[in-house]
Amino acid sequence: MNRTEKPFSSYSGYLALTVVVMLAIFAFLLLRGFQPVLAAACVLVAVFLAPGLYMLQPNESAILTLFGQYIGTDRSEGLRWAFPLYRKQRLSLRARNLNAPTLKVNDKRGNPVEISAAIVWRVQDTAQAIFDVDDFERYVAVQAEAAIRHLASRYAYDDGEDLAKGEMTLRSGMDEVSLALRSELQERFKAAGVETVDAKLTHLAYAPEIAQVMLRRQQAEAIVSARSRIVHGAVSMVESALNALAEREIVELDAERKAAMVSNLLVVLCSDKETQPIVNTGTLYN
């Protein structure tokens, strides 16, 4: 059965404390006036009222029950008083941090990755937190781990040819992934009356057993991408050079000389080392 929080209006503890002190004074005066029965009555009333006093700090609540029945939640501050037979259980409403342990899970491609997150949460509904789950702090920790594992399995660690264009990954979409994690945590924490304030990934890496292999793969992809850009740029420069020579009529080149020029320029532009010029003292045909 899901319970919802009920507000409880307590009384000023200072007024109750004043009454208790006055009763103690009256009891003392009555005792000196040789009226022990009335003095005892005042003492009994004071002793009965005193346990109803309790103190609440800012962002702290008290859940009140009577013989196992939920009465309400007091969210006021300072010295308060309620019926002495009420059982008062304090519960902090402050934001709390949960640093999830580093988990090893498989991403969308099945590659093992290490992932962890920092989660900020607070109790929103005190009745649900106390009565709907056995231990809400343990519940939060377990559900956070389950949410992180589920999130990691929904996305690939990094971009690849097998992914659709523009598909979000754990590495490239950190902000979006964090929002998705926060949304899933909120849905999971709802049963315990807990609110997710913030959630961020704090660690993301390939598992050690495949880290070196994946690093070489990333380096190879980077080299191929860089070479592709270099070749594309070199072809554009060669084309511009040939067009400029033809437009200005500086020299006439037949197909064979154009091929030789293109070959030489591409070697110079695409080489990753310094090239040494060779002066041809003859002709292309000798």
Does residue 269 surpass a pLDDT of 80? no
Of these ranges, 63-72, 106-115, 247-256, the one predicted with the greatest mean pLDDT is 63-72
Task: Round to whole Å and give the CA distance between 243 and 235.
Answer: 12
Task: Round to whole Å and give the CA distance between 160 and 244.
Answer: 40
Distance of CA 259 to the CA centre of its chain: 59
pLDDT digits (tens, 9 = 90+) for 203-236: 888 887 765 666 666 666 666 677 777 777 777 7
What pLDDT does residue 94 have? 95
- DSSP secondary structure letters along 72-139: EEE---EEEE--TTSEEEEEE-S-EEEEPPPEEEE-TTS-EEEEEEEEEEEES-HHHHHHTSS-HHHH
> What is the distance between the terminal CA atoms of the chain, rounded to a whole angstrom?
98
Q: Which SS3 state, helix, strand or coil, does residue 206 take?
A: strand
Q: What is the DSSP letter of 272?
A: S
Does residue 275 surpass a pLDDT of 70? no
What pLDDT does residue 54 have? 94
Task: Round to whole Å and give the CA distance between 151 and 170.
Answer: 9
What pLDDT does residue 259 have? 73
Does residue 128 surpass a pLDDT of 90? yes
122 within 8 A of 137, measured Cβ to Cβ: no
Better pLDDT: 252 or 40: 40
The sign one gets for the Cα dihedral 68, 74, 75, 81 is negative
Q: Residue 105: what are its φ and ψ, rounded to 5°?
A: -135, 165
What pLDDT does residue 21 have? 92
What pLDDT does residue 59 have? 93
Better pLDDT: 222 or 123: 123
Mean pLDDT score of the chain, rounded to an integer?
A: 83
Whether the pTM exceeds 0.75: the reply is no
Closest CA to 64 of 90, 34, 94: 90
Which residues contact residue 105 at a Cβ distance below 8 angstroms, ignoring those fewer than 6 apart?
Answer: 112, 113, 115, 148, 149, 152, 153
What pLDDT does residue 157 have? 82
Does residue 107 surpass a pLDDT of 70? yes
**CA torsion angle for 41, 42, 44, 45 (degrees, to 10)?**
120
Q: What is the DSSP letter of 7?
A: B
Q: Which SS3 state, helix, strand or coil, does residue 14 take?
A: helix
117 within 8 A of 86, measured Cβ to Cβ: no
Does residue 168 surpass a pLDDT of 90? no
Does residue 251 surpass a pLDDT of 70? no
What pLDDT does residue 212 have? 66
What pLDDT does residue 273 have? 63
For CATH 3.30.479.30, list the domain ranges present in the chain.
Answer: 96-206
**Helical spans, DSSP H, in the chain:** 13-32, 36-49, 126-131, 136-154, 174-189, 208-248, 255-270
Does residue 48 surpass a pLDDT of 60? yes
Does residue 283 surpass a pLDDT of 70? no
Q: Does domain 96-206 have CATH number 3.30.479.30?
A: yes
Q: Which residues pair with 106 in a beta bridge?
A: 112
Least confidently predicted of 19-28, 79-88, 226-235:
226-235
Q: How many CB atoms lie within 10 A of CB 249?
A: 7
Does residue 274 surpass a pLDDT of 70? no
Does residue 148 surpass a pLDDT of 90? yes
